[in-house]
Amino acid sequence: MGTNDRAVISLVLFLVCMASRSLGSTETEAVVEQSRSLVPSIYVFGDSIVDVGNNDFLPPPAPRARSPYGIDFAGTGMTGRFTNGYNLADLVARRLGFMKSPPAYLSLTPLTNLDLLKCRVGANYASGGSGILNTTGNGTLTLQKQIMLFSKTKARMWRCGLKLNYMISKSFFLISAGGNDFSAFSEMGMGEEDAPAYISSMVSTYVEHINALYKLGARRLGILDVPAIGCTPGSRVPMANSGCNDAANSMAQNFNKLLRLEVATAIATSMPDMKYSIASTYNFLTDLMDNHLVAGIRVVERACCGSGKLNAAVMCSKPNTTYCSDRDDYMFWDMLHPTQATYERGVVAIFYGPQEYADPINFAGLVDIATDINTTMTPSVSAI
């Protein structure tokens, strides 16, 4: 990357971070409450990047986000979120006019379930540890299972009447998946020669899942690609000089490239009404690492919560782990997951940033939010 390109990215990150400060953890939810959201509902699918508590209702070995996870979430303590505060699903929801992510599907009571069935709220079906492939995520809700649960939900939403299909078509569907499939790839002892076929299987299965959502009425789809999995603190631990695992990052990049190609082809040929955006969490995180001081992030390689080398030898909340007090200065909360501070910057980038961070359009384009630079610098209540 040339000097001019780096300067442009630095400027973009600076603008992004200035904008994201309007959603800092010190603000009250009342500040961003709207009388009307920008979409009827949000439906969330995927892994721990967007899970808001479904795993709390699953038996072991499904992973759970125990204390101190959620320590900065409006003083409520345990939230089922695999970070210190709001996760990415929450912050996407806030940009769309909601207080936070819709509730975890498995947490719904008869009363709150009625709100879902009457089209008053959406639902979050995500499950930490799950993947695109059914073989990924022992004890979790696979992506296929999550979509099946949404299908069952829709079948019971007859109370919405004739507006049901319209409401779903205008709602926002968010998916985060793929990172855990690469963890499974490593755990199965597969080698570099197995990667192309494995990635191809991941992408073809992902497209099938997207097509299933399309058949259920989804028409506004936000996809998060696989981030720089080789640069998490946990991936750095075994590496010389605590550097990134380039082999892992290369697999993520190959997956992301093929995903864009196959999704574009599938939507053009068999999902003509689908409006979609693929957010490059990979590009954002690597650019943020390279420009972290400009972006207001002080610590990149080390996890805030954990123990051992880089505070990332074991998962946060395990015995003898500790957590930092200056969490807004850290890029990563634990050995795998970003902090709320990182998510805040990332969400503004994928909503308002250039195609480097979201393509073929950004998330704002999915819901027709104005993307004038003055709007991104000083987000109004209606844009938060």
Catalytic residue set: 48
Q: Measure the CA–CA gap between 91 and 321, rounded to whole angstroms.
A: 27
Q: Measure the CA–CA gap between 107 and 355, rounded to whole angstroms.
A: 36
Q: Measure the CA–CA gap between 218 and 125, rounded to whole angstroms.
A: 15
Q: What is the CA radius of gyration of the chain?
A: 19
Q: Measure the CA–CA gap between 178 and 224, rounded to whole angstroms.
A: 9
Alpha-carbon dihedral sign for residues 244, 246, 251, 256: positive
Residues contacting 208, CB < 8 A, separation 6+: none
CA distances from 332 to 120, 122, 178, 361 (A): 34, 29, 19, 27
Paired residues of 178 in beta bridges: none
Q: Measure the CA–CA gap between 256 and 177, rounded to whole angstroms.
A: 11
Contacts 24+ apart (CB under 8 A), 257-265: 258/199, 258/200, 258/203, 259/178, 259/203, 259/206, 259/223, 259/225, 260/225, 260/359, 262/203, 262/204, 262/206, 262/207, 263/206, 263/207, 263/210, 263/223, 264/360
**In a 10 Å sphere around its CB, with 0-12 CB exposed, 13-18 middle and 19+ buried, how is residue 275 labelled?**
middle
